[in-house]
């Protein structure tokens, strides 16, 4: 035994000071290895649709209803099963309705509590008692543990349990107990949650979604391009800030910034009302939803135009600073002919819908005016000093990354950039070329520098520019297109200029050699691994399948965002992976939380079995299992050291 190993064992002996302690832990860990693996839940491209997100999270993509069916079979009617499921999803809201309508509330409490206890027993059965105990709500931990744990020493078990339930009802704690059990069931149905990118933009509630995620028991996030641009904005990148505000204005979601995050947009509004007072803003229409207050329409269109022009200027400055980004084709403000009202794009002249830009100097088109500089600095201060935004973005950095390898699955939001032959593209990042996994790693590294490095360091500025590049760059893994045609979509009628060509990855990812190559690049065994991919909506209404390459690659963006549902024909895919296999779930559009509670209307979901395990998977088959096996090995080494006298055990009687 070398000195380093002995040093480690001495440290371990402080936690397990004798043979008895080490032996007990080995037995405990060995037993855990044989428990069924926990259920993983995968969601992606939520795009601010917080009501649907919360519902899918609460029902575990149908997992709660399946547990009810397994437990009660034909002994409960479908109506009673629906009522029980709704109660588990929304216990407080459902209880309010029941208490108004139910004639004999005590009987209802008794029946409901027994049913909830039965479901809790079922969903907790594959976990250790210790893990369940940690999940129990503090106020009712002891009582719930008594109810869901068999008591062999109690002769009249039925009488024992009846008395507990009766007392809960008699002392008026039944409503709180029902809420506690319902939340516990939700907690135990899903062991770990994966968010495969794009929490932000389009919908009205990304800040609400992040409130939920920050308090979720076990979660990781793979950054999407729409997350990255908000992360860049929180870091203080002016170009990212302009993009975030422009998109919020475009989709009628400025309330997310002003009310959700408390970011003061008055400097921008004042500037826009003054500088764009007599300017045609018709091109900058708002794609608002039914909640939008149309009295703000005129002002929002002016703000929309003002921030868009500043965005094009700021992006032009980054492109000029970094020729290695190879984005000169995005420099279009200097290609405008104001007399002819045209713009030259890739050598071809196109008519423009709008050339009324009061803040653009044709001789210096990428320079901000003094007023624009002041507005952007005040916005930057608002973003970097916003406590709520900084908490959310700090969470994304601490729980997230550009990709994740987890239990033989590779998770990422966009693509692994490739050429048409399937070779990984080499991308220049500050003078050095990277490809494949190394490209992901260096971009992830610079993104963190952009947020965490000190303001006066060169790494901070370079990191901020990389955050913007990840959002929109032609070889960015999470963008995956040759260009972002924002300018053209606003100003050029000709739709040939709107085309954004996808990376070759999307034409190749149905080929097994390509998927195997990617999996091996990230250190996975291609024969038993999968890729879980978000970002590009699957157009099921056109017959497109989310299952690629014979099930090795799963694209689970099915259109959570209402903005995409006309293309996809559904309202999102989610993936559930448990000890039995993989199940892909497609969801119909969600009406509202209120309708779900009052009408007991669950989201209609259709399941596809992607893969069934030939044997039920245990924790031993997971990444955590590998860690446990390593711990067992080290504990056995410690045991051997005690027995050989290399280390002296501390007496159990001290």
For 200-214, how does the pLDDT look when each residue is reduced to its tens digit (9 = 90+)?
A: 998 889 999 999 999
pLDDT, one tens digit per residue, over 278-287 is 999 999 999 8
Buried b (16+ CB within 10 A) or exposed e, 335-368: bbeeeeebbebeeeebebeebebebbeeeebbeb
The pLDDT of 37-55, averaged and rounded, is 91
Phi-psi region of 291 (alpha: psi -120 to 50; beta: other; left: phi over 0): alpha
Q: How confident is the model at residue 565 (pLDDT cuts 50, 70, 90)?
A: low
Q: How confident is the model at residue 564 (pLDDT cuts 50, 70, 90)?
A: low
From the CB of residue 85, how many other CB atoms can be counted at a distance below 10 Å?
A: 23
pLDDT at 519 over 90: yes
Q: How confident is the model at residue 653 (pLDDT cuts 50, 70, 90)?
A: low
pLDDT, one tens digit per residue, over 393-452 is 999 999 999 999 999 999 999 999 999 999 999 999 999 999 999 999 999 999 999 999
Q: How confident is the model at residue 643 (pLDDT cuts 50, 70, 90)?
A: very high
Q: What is the pLDDT of residue 540?
A: 66
Whose tokens are 């997310």? That residue is: 256
Q: How confident is the model at residue 604 (pLDDT cuts 50, 70, 90)?
A: low
pLDDT at 613 over 90: no
DSSP-H helix ranges across 16-104:
19-33, 50-59, 63-72, 78-89, 91-101
Q: What is the pLDDT of residue 650?
A: 87
pLDDT, one tens digit per residue, over 369-385 is 999 999 999 999 999 99
Average model confidence (pLDDT) across the chain: 92
Q: What is the pLDDT of residue 46?
A: 92
The 3-class secondary structure across 594-642, one letter per residue, is HHHHHCCCCCCEEEEEEEECCCCCEHHHCHHHHHHHHHHHHHHHHHHHH
Residue 429 sits at φ, ψ, to 5 deg, of -120, 105
Q: What is the pLDDT of residue 595?
A: 83
pLDDT at 291 over 90: no
pLDDT higher at 546 or 618: 618
Lowest mean pLDDT across 215-229, 406-420, 508-522, 553-567: 553-567
Q: What is the pLDDT of residue 154?
A: 60
Q: How confident is the model at residue 479 (pLDDT cuts 50, 70, 90)?
A: very high
Residue 295 sits at φ, ψ, to 5 deg, of -65, -20
* Whole-angstrom distance, CA of residue 558 vs CA of residue 534: 9
The pLDDT of 487-498, averaged and rounded, is 96
The pLDDT of 297-315, averaged and rounded, is 96
Residue 433 sits at φ, ψ, to 5 deg, of -95, 140
pLDDT, one tens digit per residue, over 53-73 is 998 899 888 899 999 999 999
The 3-class secondary structure across 315-348, one letter per residue, is HHHHHHHCHHHCCHHHCCHHHEECCCCEEEECCE
Strand order in the sheet with 400-401: 400-401, 219-222, 192-195, 40-43, 573-578, 581-587, 605-612
The pLDDT of 159-173, averaged and rounded, is 90
Handedness of CA 415, 419, 424, 428 (dihedral sign): negative
Buried b (16+ CB within 10 A) or exposed e, 2-29: eeeeeeebeebbeebbbeebbeebbeeb
Q: What is the pLDDT of residue 537?
A: 74
């Amino acid at each position: 035994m070398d000195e380093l190993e002995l040093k480690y064992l001495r440290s371990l002996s402080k936690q397990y000071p004798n043979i008895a302690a080490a032996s007990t832990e080995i037995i405990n860990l060995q037993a855990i290895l044989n428990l069924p693996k926990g259920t993983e839940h995968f969601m992606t491209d939520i795009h601010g649709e917080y009501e649907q997100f919360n519902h899918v999270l609460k029902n575990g993509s149908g997992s709660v209803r399946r547990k009810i069916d397994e437990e009660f079979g034909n002994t409960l009617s479908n109506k009673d099963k629906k009522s029980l499921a709704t109660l588990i999803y929304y216990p407080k809201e459902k209880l309010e309705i029941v208490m108004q309508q139910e004639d004999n509330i005590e009987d209802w409490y008794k029946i409901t509590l027994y049913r909830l206890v039965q479901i809790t027993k079922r969903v907790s059965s594959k976990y250790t008692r210790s893990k369940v105990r940690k999940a129990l709500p503090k106020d009712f931990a002891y009582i719930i543990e008594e109810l869901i744990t068999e008591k062999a020493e109690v002769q009249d078990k039925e009488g024992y349990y009846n008395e507990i339930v009766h007392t809960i009802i008699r002392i008026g704690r039944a409503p709180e107990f029902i809420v506690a059990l319902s939340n516990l069931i939700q907690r135990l149905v899903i062991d770990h949650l994966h968010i495969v990118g794009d929490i932000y933009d389009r919908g009205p509630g990304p800040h609400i979604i992040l409130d939920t995620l920050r308090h979720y028991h076990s979660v990781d996030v793979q950054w999407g391009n729409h997350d990255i641009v908000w992360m860049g904005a929180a870091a203080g990148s002016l170009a990212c800030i302009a993009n975030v505000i422009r998109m919020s204005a475009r989709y009628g979601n400025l309330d997310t910034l002003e009310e959700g995050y408390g970011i003061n947009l008055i400097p921008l509004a004042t500037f826009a009302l003054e500088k764009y007072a007599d300017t045609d803003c018709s091109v900058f229409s708002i794609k608002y939803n039914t909640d939008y207050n149309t009295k703000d329409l005129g002002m929002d269109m002016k703000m929309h135009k003002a921030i868009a022009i500043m965005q094009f200027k700021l992006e032009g400055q980054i492109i000029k600073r970094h020729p290695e980004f190879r984005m000169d084709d995005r420099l279009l403000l200097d290609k405008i002919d104001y007399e002819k009202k045209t713009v030259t794009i890739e050598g071809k002249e196109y008519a423009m819908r709008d050339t009324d830009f009061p803040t653009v100097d044709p001789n210096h088109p990428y320079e901000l005016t003094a007023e624009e500089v002041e507005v952007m600095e005040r916005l930057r201060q608002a973003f970097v000093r916003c406590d709520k935004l900084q908490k959310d973005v700090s969470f994304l950095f601490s729980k997230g990354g550009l990709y994740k390898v987890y239990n033989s699955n590779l998770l990422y939001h966009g693509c692994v950039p490739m050429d048409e032959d399937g070779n990984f593209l080499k991308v220049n990042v500050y003078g050095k070329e990277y490809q494949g996994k190394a490209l992901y790693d260096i971009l992830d590294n610079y993104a963190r520098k952009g947020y965490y490095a000190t303001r006066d360091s060169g790494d901070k500025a370079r990191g901020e520019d990389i955050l913007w590049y990840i959002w929109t760059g032609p070889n960015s893994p999470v963008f995956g297109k040759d260009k972002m045609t924002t300018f053209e979509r606003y100003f050029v009628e000709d739709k040939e200029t709107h085309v954004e060509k996808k990376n070759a990855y999307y034409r190749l990812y149905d080929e097994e050699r390509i998927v195997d190559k990617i999996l091996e690049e990230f250190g996975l065994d291609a024969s038993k691994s999968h890729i879980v991919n978000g970002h590009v909506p699957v157009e099921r209404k056109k017959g497109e399948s989310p299952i690629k390459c014979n099930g090795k690659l799963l694209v689970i963006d099915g259109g959570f965002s209402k903005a995409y549902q006309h293309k996809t024909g559904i309202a999102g895919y989610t993936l559930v992976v448990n000890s039995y296999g993989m199940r892909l779930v497609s969801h119909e559009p969600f009406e509202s939380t209120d309708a779900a509670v009052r009408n007991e209307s669950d989201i209609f979901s259709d399941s596809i079995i992607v893969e069934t395990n030939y044997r039920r998977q245990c924790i031993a088959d997971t990444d955590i299992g590998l860690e446990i096996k390593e711990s067992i090995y080290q504990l056995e080494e410690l045991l051997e050291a005690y027995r050989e006298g290399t280390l002296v055990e501390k007496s159990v009687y001290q």
